[in-house]
Chains A and B, each alone.
Chain A
Amino acid sequence: MERAQASVVSPIWWRTLPDRSDFVRDRLVPIFRYLRRNRLMIIGLSAFAALGLFVGISYLFYSQVDLLGEEQGVNGLVRAASVQANQRPSWNPWSGYPLGTDVQGRDIYAAVVVGIPLSLRIGVIAAAIGVGVGMVLAFVAAYVGGVVDAVIRTVVDSLIPIPGLLVLVLVATSLNPGQGLTVDQLAFVIAVLAWPGPARVIRSQVLVIRERGYVEMARMSGTSPLGIIFKEMMPNLAPYALASFVAATSGSILASIGVESLGLGPLDSPTLGSMIYWNIFTSSVLLGLWYWLLPPIIVLIVLFVGLFMISAGLDEVANPRLRRRV
């Protein structure tokens, strides 16, 4: 009511400019107000913020003196040259290594700090490709219909029962036999199987949204098909696309950890998965090196639970029926 009056009073040229206070009041404030109720989302986002802070602060401030007597940041500490060859695996926070050193004498803290963004990077690249391809296929299937739709649907549905990890193992071994993959190559390998899930979810949503009144309205007023897709449908698909992106990120990190734990990933890059591989490889549990196994696992648990909560929170945004009653 107030707002309607305000816009009547204001001069006409004002209305073409975005009003900052209006934007804050109409967009941001409701989002924050809603977030306060969506507890899952809040917990998930804060888990991520905590990990981000941990990595950021460590990158800026953490350093150790390496073998050659040089001061090294986290990136330098995980390089092979920094290995303290004469040091046995040990855990003694007062020795200067807060999480101890691994069997190669490497600083575990630095390895975890470098590993988090590397593993996330694999997940995000693979998920972005997967959701992108899935979305294009979903729109093509829903719009062209007929044989194309049937083919895409059959391919998507028949790929779903194939155990993904096994196919990824085949791809990873045949791409670069013997040497392992780089971090980005691994991301592309995982993207190979990241698209059927998003394609399935988004296609069914496109079919639903296409029949909505406002899309019909836009069509009747002569909006071009692309205009309808980008201006009318995309904004309403966004929560679904975002939810499947988060789910795909989690799934891709899961897949990457699986492939890496088999020793098929980038073994020389300190991703969380290759840390776990070396733990399994040296059977660190039986050696009593719990302080080497626990850090990557704890980080992964925080990562997976955080992503899961964000995706459940986004589900709530997308399906208002799930929303908590106030």
Chain B
Amino acid sequence: MPWKYIAGRLTMFVVTIWMASTIVFFLPRLSGQNPLAERIYQEAQQGGYQDPDVAERVRVFEAKYGFDKPLWEQYVKFVVDVVQFDLGRSIFQWPKSVNEILAEKIMWTLVMGLLTLVLAFFIGSAMGALLEWRRNNWGLMVAMAPILAISAVPFFIFGLVLQLIVFNIDREFPLVYGFKQGVIGWPDWSDWEFILSVVKHAIMPALSITLVSLGGWAMGMRGMMVTTKGEDYMVQAEAKGLPDRVMLTKYAIRNSLLPQVTGLTLALGLIVSGVVLVEIVFGYPGVGGQLLQAVRSNDYPTTQGIVFVLAFGTAAATLALDLLYPLLDPRIKSAGE
């Protein structure tokens, strides 16, 4: 195994994490606002009674959050905490910790993201493979044209279009939220009715992400198939008289699919951004809506926590793909040795 390659990827991962935590630490502080004091003053004014010790309370809370220390000390503490996934406490939803907030939401985002990614990756790749294999099939090309065209459109814009269409066909179909609202006792994962409702509500956002991403994978796969079709082993397979289907699945697709994984590593960041926006448009209970709320209420710890965790997840997935790739593709392994 090429140790240099692994060391390089690991360094990259560490640098990414460090940059993400640095960006996340410094950017909110550029605004020169003091959300903690603002929040406490706001709270103190509620109910018409003016608390005489507000300034003292601000001081106590600033000490609690560590805002009274010099900047570099805060920075070091932040980076050290954050890499241990100690993301601090929310300001807006005090005393909830950011970890608690994330724990409620992250699974929704993770499942939605992974599900749509896998669906789009495999269906799109199959489409691209067929498109190149049956080169002059006009029916296929006509069917694929709209899918290729919408691949340039952002997920959430297409989501809005879907909402518009479905709303005018079936007014009862769930367009927003992650499950039916207003039922007492939900979310309750042991209730079959609840799970059915979750699945039904997931259809719209999942459809808008999957349909849009299909085109990209299809285009990538088609490009790979062009290269693969020119390889010597394809000529040999044809000369051996192998049936068309075997040549397509065992020879062409197998060899073209692997390089698509490289495209996956480049697309991950974009996909995460896209999923966050889709969640906001569909009122989905993932981290997207939470991020928006945190941004609107100047809740720095929560904003920082969400951005850091998403960046970490993307970087970790990229690292995993980079490390797995040589194992999946023997051609790379032998080239590295």
Which of A's residues lie within 8 Å of B, judged by CB?
154-155, 157-167, 169-171, 173-175, 177, 250, 254, 257-258, 261-264, 276, 279-280, 285-286, 290, 293-294, 297, 300-301, 304-305, 307-308, 322
Contacts and interface: CB of A to CB of B under 8 A. Distances in A.
A323 to B, nearest CB: 12
Given A162-B16, A163-B311, A166-B311, A300 B153 contact: yes
B170 to A, nearest CB: 13
Q: Decide if the interface of chain A is mainly helix, strand, loop or mixed.
A: helix
Interface string B309-324: 0110011011000000
Interface residues of B, number: 56
B291 interface: yes
Given A161-B315, A167-B307, A262-B295, A175 B276 contact: no
B15 A177 contact: no
B295 A173 contact: yes
A307 B152 contact: yes
Contacts of B28: 170, 173-174
B40 interface: no
A170 B24 contact: yes
B328 interface: no
A307 B269 CA distance: 21
Interface stretch (B45-53, B72-80, B125-133, B161-169): B161-169
A261 B274 CA distance: 12
B273 A163 contact: yes
Nearest to B29: A174
A290 B163 CA distance: 10
Contact of B292 (A175, A262, A294): A262
Contacts of A160: 266, 269
B30 A293 contact: no
Contacts of A164: 269-270, 273
A130 to B, nearest CB: 15
B269 A162 contact: yes
Contacts of B15: 154-155, 158
B310 A293 contact: no
Nearest to A279: B160
A286 B164 contact: no
